[in-house]
Structure 1
Amino acid sequence: MTLKVPVATLRIFESAARWQSFHAAAQELGLTPSAISHAMKRMEDSLGIVLFEREGRSLRLTASGETLKLHASRAFEEMRLGLDMVSARKSHLLRLHSAPSFAANWLTPRLAGFLALHPEIEVRLSAGVDYARFDTDEFDADIVYGPPRQKGLDVTPLCEEAVTPLCSPKLAEHIHSVEDLLRHPLIQSEFKQIRWPQWLEANGAANAHVPLGSRFDRSFLALIAAANGLGVALESTLLAQADLAAGRLVEPLKDRNKPLTYIGHYFVCPRGQRPRAPLRLFRTWLLAELAVGGPSMDG
């Protein structure tokens, strides 16, 4: 079936439907409200349906308009994504995805160092708890929390992380033992591989009553809460490096407890294709910053 409506007119419709305003659509598209209105009237005449209900200056989509808006919005989003993917293939663009706390607390503060070494590379960084969708070609690599569950990936474990109690300097003045620790709220971090029961068992307090504190679903939020005196967080010193260095957080039982260690984060990218130069350079830099080795990606 031949499309009765030009793509340019569909673009006008999508904008007007999204804003539900001819004036706002005109501003977005660089047209006049009159041009928008006339284009929509011609479109309605061509399709033989009413898309907008006009009441004075107010505008409302009809049921047909809502249906068309849904599909038109999807179509233009797919085109935008396709254009982004094509443009992203330029040789010096690096598209990274990362677990949120690693991105916020460790990676982003250090990106300036990488870019100083490689000013020709443009980095696009996204953060989220969902794994990167490599099948859609949106990202070159992902830094994930926990062992990756996806198949078809090259996986590099990153450095070993130490998990230990962390709190504000003021609160630390009152904590000299595990018994002291249990007199203060213990901040809960959901979705963590190591949590308070494991640490308490390793430190001889398996059956102790735990004074549960606030609960957070991201490590960076738990660290912010601890730095602001809400209690004691059980978190990775890797993610807390900046706060520890600045004195916002301290280890109240440093050298008086048994930290638990584990591999928390993994660098992953699609298997079976030669990584582009920006990805190889970034991986080499990342491993050097974390002071770990790894197999070469040059082969």
Structure 2
Amino acid sequence: MASDLPLSAFRIFEAAARRRSFKEAAGELNLSASAVSHAMSKLEESLGVPLFERVGQGIAPTTAGEALLDHVSRAFAELHRGLDMISTRGSQLLRLHCAPSFAAQWLTPRLAGFLRDHPGMEVRLAAGMDYARFTNDEFDADIVYGPPRGEGLLRMPLGVETVTPLCDPSRAEQIKKPSDLFRHPLIQSDTKLVRWPHWFDKNGLTAPASAALRFDRSFLALTGAADGLGVALESTRLAEREMTIGRLVAPLAGRSVDIHYTGHHLVFPPSSRRREPLRIFARWLARELSVSPSSELE
């Protein structure tokens, strides 16, 4: 009987029919392609009607599949609206995962302003280098460093960042040109996409064989540079607070070639885009960073 079928079967069906691919549906739902195929075979058997047909290298819903997709899509949308309506706390809670340095250096200092401008909102923030997998509905979104991973995720680039040498003011007085850096300890962030060899190459120089100090987080490199340990090659966005209060300066600003790149993205599964807290946060994030908000959340 159709009434005995689990809700998960229809969730898998909706993803496969919408994406026209068992493989892409599997990526979105964090399942294997064979598990999706098996679930759809059981659903077709239970309903007594084929829901998919082979089209070239992919699949497409049959006429019956298209009809079912229309109803299932509207049913899930209505279910989400109902859950948000009755769960007052849940509808106001943003569950966010974030890259550690972005969380510590940029996001956390601004959360007070965000919460002040959006009374009633709650934020649960977790930081870690591992990307959120969205397998158990624990997070609504993730701010990731580096290329976004995971099939089926939606993304919003968080703008271009400038990477340049940064150090404390007293050390900066001794650095007038790029080659002056050879006389100072260099601090390397091991997880950064942009490293000292890239910067020296851009400026027509050969980087030293190794950095004097190595850290696995940008916020540690920035703290070390501000405390006088050496020169860090870091994003001015992450160093904004220290630069504003004068603990860090860019000694070669206007006298060297900086590196510009898009380092961070807001990523989220399609199921999260219906949640109003994520919509509110993404619009706020876009305004703060002067970037275009994701069209997927409109």
Same fold (TM over 0.5): yes
Give the structure 2 partner of residue 196 of structure 1. Answer: 196
CA gap of 1:236–1:274, structure 2 versus 1, over 3 A, is: closer
Q: TM-score, normalised by structure 2?
A: 0.68
CA distance in 2, matches of 1:279, 1:141: 8
**Between 142-151 and 97-106, the greater mean CA deviation after superposition:** 142-151
Aligned residue identity for 1:224 = T
CA spacing shift, 1:88–1:136, aligned 2, 3 Å: farther
1:114 paired residue number: 114
Q: Could you report, residue by residue, the CA deviation over 1:2-26 in whole angstroms, capped at 9, with x for unpaired residues? A: xxxxxxxxxxxxxxxxxxxxxxxxx
SS class of match (1:126): strand
Offset, 1:186: 0.7
Deviation at 1:88, TM superposition (A): 9.8
In the alignment, residue 156 of structure 2 is paired with which amino acid? T
Counterpart of 1:165, as a letter, is P
Specify the alignment match of 1:65 in structure 2. none
Residues 92-150 of structure 1, C-alpha deviation per residue, up to 9 Å, x if partnerless? 11100000000000000001111111111110101000111211111001000001111
Which amino acid in 1 is paired with 2:192? K
Assess if the C-alpha contact under 8 Å between 1:183 and 1:211 holds in 2.
no
| SS of equivalent to 2:214 | strand
The residue matched to 1:285 in structure 2 has which SS?
helix
Q: Does 1:224 align with 2:247?
A: no
Q: Distance in 1 between matches of 2:241 and 2:145?
A: 19
Letter in 2 for 1:120: G
Aligned equivalent of 2:78: none
- Preserved CA contact (<8 Å) 1:164 1:236: yes
Aligned-residue offset at 1:275? 2.4
Name the CA distance, whole Å, in 2 between partners of 1:196 and 1:222.
13
In structure 1, C-alpha distance between the alignment counterparts of 2:224 and 2:231, rounded to whole Å: 9
Q: CA deviation at 1:182?
A: 1.2
Q: Distance in 2 between matches of 1:268 and 1:132?
A: 9
TM value normalised by structure 1: 0.68
Instruction: Give me the whole-angstrom Cα distance separating, in 1, the residues matched to 2:128 and 2:139.
Output: 13
List runs of 5+ in structure 2 lacking aligned partners: 1-86
How many residues of Structure 1 are paired with residues of Structure 2 in the alignment?
213
Unaligned 5+ residue runs, structure 1? Answer: 1-86
Runs of 4+ in 1 over 4 A off after TM superposition: none
Identity %, equivalent residues:
60
* Structure with greater helix percent: 2
Counterparts of 2:153 and 2:89, CA distance in 1: 20
Task: Give RMSD over aligned pairs.
Answer: 1.8
* Residue of structure 1 in register with 2:96 after alignment: 96
C-alpha contact (below 8 Å) 2:202/2:257 kept by paired residues = yes
